Structure 1
């Protein structure tokens, strides 16, 4: 059974490394090994004590098998309302078809 995270991330951290690591079922030690670094460094990335370069963020994303934007809070550039709408459309195929056909109709009328 994986250990619980050592400490809470600081409130101002915009990275979601810990959350994605836990979802992947990896310990800090396992992620550190995949990145050829130490568990202490991983902990510092997760809490925001240590900055992460773009190159390192890409390496972490690859090790966790997620797109890099998943490691950045609000990294998709969407508002909370837009994210909620997309979530709703993904979970409701009937609504998704209605919205899609409406958008297609608008696109066709502009042509």
Structure 2
């Protein structure tokens, strides 16, 4: 969610880029569902984010 908000993109816009319903984005952002690796890569591509850097950031925040 933070990455999406940093880019200034709505859930609906991400969903449109992915060809999915807005509820798909809401569910993974809300922790109701998890993304598989391919979905994760699709999301990072849609947001123009380096997937490796995002994973590193997530790991750093988890280690705090």
TM-score (norm 1): 0.49
Residue 45 (1) aligns with residue 28 (2): yes
**Greater per-residue helix proportion:** 2
Residue 58 (1) aligns with residue 29 (2): no
Aligned to 1:31: 14
Secondary structure at 2:25's aligned position in 1?
helix
Cα offset, 1:54, TM superposition: 0.1
Residue 21 (1) aligns with residue 4 (2): yes
The runs of 5 or more residues in structure 1 that have no matched partner are: 1-17, 81-111
CA RMSD, 1 decimal: 1.8
1:1-111 equivalent positions in 2, closer than 5 A: 18-69=1-52, 70=54, 73-74=58-59
Q: Distance in 1 between matches of 2:33 and 2:12?
A: 17
Which 4+ stretches in 1 moved above 6 angstroms?
A: none
Larger Rg: 1
